[in-house]
Amino acid sequence: MSGIAISGGQLWLLVALLSVAALGLKVLGFVIVGGRETPPMLQRCLALIPASLLAALIAKDTLTTAQALAFDARLVGLAVAAVAVWRRLPFVVVIVLATVSTAVVRALV
Amino acid sequence: MKMTLGSRLLGSRDPDSKRVIVAGLTLGAAVGVMALPFGLTAVSSGASVWQACALSLFTFTGASQFSAMSVVGAGGSVGAAFGGAALLAVRNFVYGVALASRIGNDDSGQKRSLGHRLVAAHFVIDETTAMATAESQPRLVRLAFWVTSISLFVSWNVGTLIGAVAGSVLDAQMLGLDAAFPAAFLSMLVPHLRTRSGRLAAVTGAVVCVAATPFVPVGIPILMAVVGVLFGVRR
């Protein structure tokens, strides 16, 4: 968690923008479009967005530091998390195992 | 006569309502625990306790909140953090369209007041949609939605506050808290990997993100990863 590039004021701006956008999208779907048919192709595209973005976020948080590729203790944490998810352990257990294994590797290496 | 909170909530209700209420409260407890890592990582990524809490109160959609803080923590701009988080929030639009007639109307099919529907809209997220659509009777659909909404809203915000306060006194790097982000995203990704198109979209998104990282500002690779959708949708 190095090199935060924005100020506290900019962070508040982000909080405000994101809050407006998140509620806006909910209201657009629930109140404005509501129940009407949307094109199946559009639905399929929208349904796939989380798959692409979540995978990209995993890659970013495990393999990169700022604009450089980095291979470090986080890889071990993700591998442990993958096993934990595969074993269907609860969310919090997955997080704890990932962070503890990362911390241990970091302390040892 | 002395009544516990549990018997006041459940006492005179039929078995179906009891089942729905217990399920909603149980899920709320679980989500409250999920909020702890959000509060912790948000603060260790540079947010103040109040900023973390404001996100949970007003954004109230977990994946987007985690995504925004992950990009900020890595040194991304406001625009980059916002873009990825907003794209992740698009699925709440899809849920809203699906839930509108079931939650926004009463038994006779009449639309509820605009105020009622605007409040309900704020609660349209993964968990409330899942709980509501799991029921078939209109009465239970609405009960499931509202019990889950209120229980999650309370627990998600209390959990965020506790996590954020804890995060402001802990050494995130030493505790390996930076690994909490990818682990959280992995848990959220797994349901999307059940279909072949989901897997294709995921792999393409990850590859595009890593390949673009050295060449564009921090956070932008997350936005570029959305082209993975085009690979997935062709299947």
Q: In this predicted model, what pLDDT tens digit does every residue of B6-38 receive, in sequence order? A: 666 676 788 899 999 999 998 898 888 889 999
ipTM of the complex: 0.91
Given this model, what pLDDT does residue A1 score? 45
List, for residues B177-193, the tens digit of each pLDDT value.
889 889 989 998 999 99
Q: Is B158 on the interface with A (CB under 8 A)?
A: no
Report, as an integer, the average pLDDT of A80-104. 93
Tokens of A41: 């192709």
Question: Residue B173: which pLDDT band, with cuts at 50, 70 and 90?
Answer: confident
Interface A–B counts its CB contacts (< 8 A) at 342
- Kindly report the backbone phi and psi dihedral angles of residue B124, in degrees, each rounded to the nearest multiple of 5, phi listed first: -80, 95
The answer to whether residue A30 scores a pLDDT higher than 90 is yes
Per residue in B99-137, pLDDT (tens digit) is 998 899 888 888 899 999 999 999 999 999 989 988 989
Q: Say yes or no for a CB contact (<8 Å) between A85 and B186.
A: yes
* Tens-digit pLDDT profile for residues B63-89: 999 999 999 999 999 999 999 999 999
> Which of B85, B189, B232 is closest, CB to CB, to A58?
B189
What's the rounded Cα separation, in Å, for the pair A16 and A70?
Answer: 32
Neighboring chain B residues of A90 at a CB cutoff of 8 Å? 30
Looking at residue B118, its pLDDT comes to 96
Look at residue B215 in the predicted model and tell me its pLDDT. Answer: 94
Distance CA B106, CA B208 (A): 46
Q: What φ, ψ does residue A68 adopt, rounded to 5°?
A: -115, 150
More confident residue, B235 or A19: A19
Mean pLDDT of chain B: 91
The alpha carbon of residue A9 is apart from the nearest alpha carbon of chain B, in Å, by: 10
Task: Inspect the interface and report whether the beta carbons of B214 and A67 lie closer than 8 Å.
Answer: yes
A3-14: average pLDDT = 92
B179·A23 Cβ contact <8 A: no
φ, ψ for residue A64, nearest 5 deg: -130, 150
Residue A77 and residue A40: Cα distance in Å, rounded?
A: 38
Is the distance from CB of B123 to CB of B92 less than 8 angstroms? no
| pLDDT score recorded for residue B1 | 47
